[in-house]
Structure 1
């Protein structure tokens, strides 16, 4: 609850008038002071009254690609028994406020208000809660209350269709074309036994050592396993305007295109960031919507991630997506092949006139945006 400048002035005038009226025996001044005090007290009582509103919201849809339409729908209900409400509310949508008029909502009735959500930029847009501000008739007091919960709208990067996907390092059992003659099912890791696992997969030596059943996990090496590494270091995308780097947006579009193409082909794919985010999201597209440029704490962050990729060997095909500031790091990336990642491709965005040092042996696709990357990707003959 906030007392406006008009209310403060009237309250001060009430004190002065009451003091002068009683001190100098002027009943007229005392009456004026009492009237001013009553006006302020009435404004406080009016503002203290809380309308009984219920607010529910739904986004249709709540996950869209950049530039696609999304609509937020609010349903407001007046749960008062006798008093109608007539007010103007505001809904916060990202960094802007959207006016939501509630005109003469009768008791026990609902009204629905819809408005478009801006999706011209990738990101997670928080929408809500609804803010209702009430003023008294004289404008002496105002009070703002929040109703309902907030709901995020996920704006994904644009996805550009890719006609080609990488092939595996062994012959595909499903008929995919590749460069080696025989496929295989190989050991990948151990995990705890769960009901339903086949007993022939139990690794008895490890189970006896740790005192609980452990079973083998295998992986089909006939399928290409993609690892997409997104360079989200601020140093890799230096041309940021207003906190937005177009080369990073293009890299996010490329990552979304590769991930979508792999999922469409039912291929294993892993999405990683050079600087990991604080919140783990299960969906790679959700992660691409939420990711932001981060100032890496030191120049060795990329080397640390590459070292972990070499050690863990998460796949056979690595796709590294970076900006002009990452061109000097391609030598470290090239060191991963051929032992760790036989197939290695680099997407380099906004690097016109920039020397890609150490890129020998790499397939480097230089592109200005996501659409150009998709065209270059489909032109790679080795797929």
Structure 2
């Protein structure tokens, strides 16, 4: 609760009038002082009364690509038995305040406001809560209260169409590559026994029927798994324009494009970050594009811990590293992963000059932005 400047002046006047009236025995001054004090007390009682407001907020849609339209529909309903008046309300949308008209709201009635969400930048835009300020009719006291929960709007990076996706060494009968290695647990066919085959693979029922030993032939049906490593170190993206690292935004667009292309090709893909996103925000992400919307630059300078984790865990067989101009000096450390990953591709975004295509024995794709990266990616002929 806060008292306005008018309320402060009236309260000071009440104290002075009461003091002077009692001191010099002027009943008129005492009466004026008592009236001023009563007005301030009445203002406190009116402002402290909490209106029963029901707030509903709907994002349409709640997940958009950068630059696409998104809007919020806010409905405020008076759930009390008395009309509400002298209310000033505003809804929070990111860093800006949106005014909501609540001058007089009758019982059971509602008011609806629709406004656009700024999607010019990638990120998670928190919308809400509704801030309602109740004032007394004289404007002496104002009390602000929050209403409704906060709704996040996920602004994903732009995605650019990509026609080629590296498949690494993985093979699948159900995927894009049908030359499958033998020896896994999935049955494929029967063949005649040859010296050296394990007896546990003999199919005895078929052997008894045909009169000779028949062996089960298995295939590896595991799909190639793509690992996208986004370099979100501040040192990898040193250039800033109005506090925004455009090379990092381009790297996020490239990561979103690779992830989307892998999903369209029915290939498993996992998104990893050099700097973990444990403190990305209170909103819970529901997929790699949500993580790309919430990811921020971290203060970690060394890439080696992330390289060690990739070598130890091996979450896939194709590694795609997306970094900025400051990450070109770490290509040697990434090249050491070629023994663990049959295919390693490095994307350098925002570089002033292209990196050598065979740097550290890696496939290097250099581009200014996300669209240029997708175009250069499709020109690669050897993964």
Q: Sort the TM-score into its range (normalised by shorter chain).
A: 0.7 to 0.9
Paired with 1:154 and 1:32, the residues of 2 have a C-alpha distance of 57
What residue is the counterpart of 2:374 in the other structure? 374
1:152–1:106 Cα change, 3 Å: same
What residue is the counterpart of 2:334 in the other structure? 333
Shift of 1:371: 0.4
Paired with 1:312 and 1:150, the residues of 2 have a C-alpha distance of 37
Deviations 1:321-349 (A, max 9, x none): 00111110011001111x21111111101
What residue is the counterpart of 1:292 in the other structure? 296
Give the TM-score normalised by the residue count of structure 2.
0.85
What residue is the counterpart of 1:307 in the other structure? 308
Paired with 1:281 and 1:26, the residues of 2 have a C-alpha distance of 70
1:141–1:74 Cα change, 3 Å: same
Structure 2 residue 169 is the aligned partner of structure 1 residue 169: yes
Paired with 1:68 and 1:122, the residues of 2 have a C-alpha distance of 11
Shift of 1:27: 1.4
Report if the CA contact (8 A) 2:7-2:141 is conserved. yes
Paired with 1:323 and 1:122, the residues of 2 have a C-alpha distance of 17
What residue is the counterpart of 2:125 in the other structure? 125
Deviations 1:3-42 (A, max 9, x none): 1122122111111110110111111211221121111111
Shift of 1:356: 6.6
Count of residue pairs brought into register by the alignment: 348
Paired with 1:256 and 1:151, the residues of 2 have a C-alpha distance of 23
Q: Structure 1 unaligned segments of length 5 or more: list them.
A: 188-199, 201-217
Deviations 1:193-213 (A, max 9, x none): xxxxxxx9xxxxxxxxxxxxx
Give the TM-score normalised by the residue count of structure 1.
0.85
Deviations 1:60-104 (A, max 9, x none): 111111111111111111112232446331001111111111243
- What RMSD over aligned residues (CA atoms) do the two structures have, in Å? 2.3
- Give the match's secondary structure for 1:244: coil
Residue correspondence of structure 1 range 61-210 to structure 2 within 5 A: 61-85=61-85, 87-174=87-174, 176-177=176-177, 181-184=179-182, 186=184
Report if the CA contact (8 A) 1:328-1:356 is conserved. no
Q: Structure 2 unaligned segments of length 5 or more: list them.
A: 186-199, 201-217
Structure 2 residue 58 is the aligned partner of structure 1 residue 54: no
Report if the CA contact (8 A) 2:83-2:104 is conserved. no
1:172–1:36 Cα change, 3 Å: same
Greater C-alpha Rg: 2
Paired with 1:47 and 1:175, the residues of 2 have a C-alpha distance of 66
- Give the match's secondary structure for 2:366: strand
What residue is the counterpart of 2:234 in the other structure? 234
